[in-house]
């Protein structure tokens, strides 16, 4: 059956359907699966049985990977222990020792650290460039370049990537592409349908949606996901069954949560743009017919006392992450981009007054009032 997006979020494929008698998917909280005899066990290695050991695969984690893949329009998906492990699995499925990656310079700080430091240990070279400049991408390509990497909506300055251009460059040069779609989710953007080879999510954020699970998902072409799955199993990057189950439960409400959160973000952005005490508002336009995202980034500049602003936020949570049903704020300079070199932060515009706001599902008037009061109390 062919479903629309909202229906897919609730009715994605379930594993071992013929064994299920409950309305909700059971939790397969087991480290291993039992067999009748040695021949029965050997059937796993012949490809006749799906499950042997949860580090290799589990119905709950398979549900998560395949559920997100369906929403992205991709044939295969893979769940991992975190967004970072999903990125690593995707990278190692495409590149190896001696290869070269071109990455956008305005990406999540944790990804920057992985690329700038950890991949060196694997003998993998990474060049950071302004990915929105097609000439700069072309000039950065080397004989050993294998992958172009960016984010659909960048963290924290919310630049919307021109994936059509990136895919076109990659195809001309026989390169693979990988996009982090965490901020947009498939509710807004589907990179795979634009020709991207691999799409990654920190499912900790909008996929899980309730700030109670740490998980990652990688989706894409079957042959690459098969390689990534082997990396996940061999490196121990697998997700636990319970966290897979939690993330699947969250996935069912992705569409309704994003609809409210996107509307709240638009309302807050509109309000803040008209507030003379805010130096700058970062919020993209024309992202999708479904809206422009659930994150608003602002620069307080010299008009507000930063510390007093955070102290005056009342019920708005201060956290080092995003998403969840509660509105929250993050200080990128002190958390996500803390380890990014200062010269790069200055070039990108990650200033001392930069604040990233993650909108929840509360009433927009209450959110706006909370920010209006914090701005008023902290202005100088």
Q: Where are the domains of the chain?
A: 5-251, 254-378
> Which residues, at least 6 apart from 368, have a Cβ–Cβ distance to it below 8 Å?
267, 268, 271
The rounded distance, in Å, linking the Cα atoms of 238 and 226 is 14
Q: 164, 177 in Cβ contact below 8 A?
A: no
**CATH code that applies to domain 5-251:** 3.40.640.10
Per-residue confidence (pLDDT) for residue 16, from 0 to 100: 52
d(CA 128, CA 115): 9
Give the model confidence (pLDDT) of 223-247 as tens digits. 999 999 999 999 999 999 999 999 9
Candidates 243, 201, 233, 209; CA nearest to 74 is 201
Indicate the DSSP class of residue 194. G
H or E stretch covering 376: helix 364-378
DSSP code of residue 333 = G
Looking at residue 1, its pLDDT comes to 65
Q: Cite the beta strand spans of 142-252 per DSSP E.
A: 145-151, 176-180, 198-202, 216-220
Q: What does the alpha-carbon distance between residue 161 and residue 104 come to, in Å, rounded to a whole number? A: 10
Look up residue 20 and give its two tokens: 């299920």
For residue 88, the model assigns a pLDDT of 98
What's the pLDDT at 125? 97
**Nearest-angstrom CA–CA distance, 219 and 200:** 6
Distance CA 21, CA 255 (A): 27
Phi-psi category of 158—alpha, beta or left, where left has phi over 0 and alpha has psi -120 to 50? left
Q: What is the pLDDT of residue 130?
A: 93
pLDDT at position 169 is 98
C-alpha 67/C-alpha 292 separation (Å) is 23
In this predicted model, what pLDDT tens digit does every residue of 18-38 receive, in sequence order? 555 678 888 999 999 999 999
* pLDDT at site 7: 86
**Candidates 3.30.430.20, 3.50.50.60, 1.10.4000.10, 3.90.1150.10; CATH matching 254-378:** 3.90.1150.10
Measured CA to CA, the distance from residue 360 to residue 212 in angstroms comes to: 15
pLDDT of 20 reads 57
How many CA atoms lie within 13 Å of 277's alpha carbon, on the beta-carbon side?
A: 15
What's the pLDDT score for residue 14? 60
CB atoms within 10 A of CB 335: 17
What pLDDT is attached to residue 329?
Answer: 97
> Do 336 and 110 form a contact (C-beta atoms < 8 A)?
yes
Q: Is the dihedral of CA 207, 209, 210, 216 positive or negative?
A: positive
Give me the count of residues in the chain: 380
Residue-level pLDDT at 260: 98
Tens place of pLDDT per residue across the chain (380 aa) = 678 898 888 887 665 555 556 788 889 999 999 999 999 999 999 999 999 999 999 999 999 999 999 999 999 999 999 999 999 999 999 999 999 999 999 999 999 999 999 999 999 999 999 999 999 999 999 999 999 999 999 999 999 999 999 999 999 999 999 999 999 999 999 999 999 999 999 999 999 999 999 999 999 999 999 999 999 999 999 999 999 999 999 999 999 999 999 999 999 999 999 999 999 999 999 999 999 999 999 999 888 999 999 999 999 999 999 999 999 999 998 888 888 888 888 888 889 999 999 999 999 999 999 999 999 999 98
E-strand ranges in 256-324 read 280-282, 295-299, 317-318
Whether the model pTM is above 0.75: yes
């Amino acid at each position: 059956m062919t479903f629309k997006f909202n229906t897919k979020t609730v009715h994605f494929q379930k594993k071992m359907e013929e064994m299920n008698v409950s309305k909700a998917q059971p939790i397969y909280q087991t480290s291993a699966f039992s067999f009748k005899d040695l021949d029965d066990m050997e059937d796993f290695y012949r490809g006749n049985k799906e499950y042997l050991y949860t580090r290799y695969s589990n119905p709950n984690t398979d549900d998560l990977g395949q559920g997100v893949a369906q929403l992205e329009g991709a044939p295969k998906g893979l769940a991992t222990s975190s967004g970072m492990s999903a990125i690593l699995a995707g990278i190692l499925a495409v590149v190896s020792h001696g290869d070269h990656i071109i990455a956008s310079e305005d990406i999540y700080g944790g990804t920057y650290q992985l690329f700038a430091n950890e991949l060196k240990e694997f003998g993998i070279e990474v060049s950071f460039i302004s990915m929105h400049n097609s000439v700069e991408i072309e000039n950065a390509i080397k004989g050993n370049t294998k992958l172009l990497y960016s984010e659909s909506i960048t963290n924290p300055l919310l630049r919307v990537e021109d994936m059509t251009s990136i895919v076109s460059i990659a195809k001309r040069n026989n390169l693979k592409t990988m996009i982090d779609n965490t901020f947009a989710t498939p509710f807004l953007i589907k990179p795979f349908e634009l020709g991207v080879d691999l799409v990654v999510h920190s499912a900790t954020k909008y996929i899980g949606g309730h700030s109670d699970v740490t998980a990652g998902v990688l989706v894409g072409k079957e042959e690459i996901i098969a390689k990534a799955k082997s990396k996940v199993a061999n490196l121990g990057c697998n997700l636990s069954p319970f966290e897979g189950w939690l993330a699947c439960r969250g996935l069912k409400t992705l569409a309704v949560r994003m609809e409210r959160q996107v509307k709240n973000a638009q309302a807050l952005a509109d309000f803040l743009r008209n507030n003379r005490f805010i130096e700058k508002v970062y919020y993209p336009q024309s992202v999708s017919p479904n809206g422009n995202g659930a994150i608003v980034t602002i620069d307080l500049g010299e008009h507000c006392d930063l510390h007093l602003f955070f102290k005056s936020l009342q019920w708005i949570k201060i956290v080092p992450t995003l998403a969840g049903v509660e509105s929250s704020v993050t200080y990128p300079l002190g958390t996500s981009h803390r380890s990014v070199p200062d010269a790069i932060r200055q070039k990108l515009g990650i200033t001392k007054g930069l604040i990233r706001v993650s909108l929840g599902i509360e009433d927009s008037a209450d959110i706006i009032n909370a920010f209006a009061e914090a701005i008023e109390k902290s202005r100088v």
